[in-house]
Structure 1
Amino acid sequence: MQPISSLERASSEQWNRLIESVGPAAMLLVVRARMSPAMLARLAPEDVWQETLLHAWRDRTQCTWQGLPAFRRWLISILEHRLLDLAEAAERKKRGGGAQPLSLDARAAPAEASSLGFAGPIASTTPSRVAMDREAATAIAEALQELPEELREVVRLRLIEDLSMPEVAERTGLGLSAAQHRFRKGAESYQRALARRLRGDSRVG
């Protein structure tokens, strides 16, 4: 992907390539991992992800481009704030202290998006693409599930959460060399399992 000097001046094509580069299918698993069972019962991860992208486009001037890993972390921070807002709104409704939370579609604010000239990710997202990402996310989850438990979390944190190996070691309580060994072993098995499901589709990995 060509360097982006300013997200504010990014074209629709640049933005869409950028979102593709963060791995939408893997990001759906990131979304799901952060949703509570109650939230999963009433909201689809794909809808939460689409709202995250809309907010990212709206707030893109607040993000200084520092490379893809930093951009992905910025997207995750937006996601976590959106989930917190949704959880707080649901709690207010449960206590009877607030109006019924708006649906994700209602919060998408089409008028606001259209005033931007380009509606960011909403303009290029189609039902077929959402379905493709959902299927790819399922394949990734199934490939991870094939791994032994002691390898699975290391691979998930490194490849799906995109943590550095020192961060993976700290999160799992392993020494760095042990974490690296488990990752090498697990990643090979994961890639084989994923390839069987995707049949050579290199769009996700």
Structure 2
Amino acid sequence: MLPRSDSPQVPDEPAAETNSDQLMRLLYQEHSGPLLMFVLRLTGGDRQRAEDVVQETLLRAWRNADRLGTSGQPSLRPWLVTVARRIVIDEHRSVMARPQEAYGEDLERFAEADATDQVLRRMTITAAFKTLSPAHREIILATYFKGRTLPEAAEELGLPIGTAKSRVYYGLRALRAALEAREVTES
């Protein structure tokens, strides 16, 4: 029988769509609570992740509603638990397959050590060392950089021990002043 053209046509919702909505509500009412408790244990108590897994599980059940009704199982819960467990396992494998993201991490601990600071220190000391008089440079070089004792340095340079002590004292003082002057100009 053809519809009359003078009456407005209001499309009815298909019966399958109404049944699938009812199926989804029924699945959620019956299985979401126990399924959430099960998945919470699998996710280590991460509630947000567990709720996402339950939602994905129920969505898969809804998509496969035509196959689930013919399986002859008295309850869908074993199937839902298996699907939820597999979703959690798949998520875990996917996280393990990707390298960890470093957002928010302290990037300094990933930096490799290099000799930049050491090179800069040496350059600063060398520049300050060049400002010393030749006599002060000579005694500081012998005692601090060559590792000689004061008597050994005095003997090597042919100086009396008192003169060597005096030159070390005033040489170090001049070196310190030169380094401090560089520090003030650099900052």
TM range (shorter): 0.3 to 0.5
Query: TM-score by structure 2 length?
Result: 0.36
Larger-gyration structure (1/2)? 2
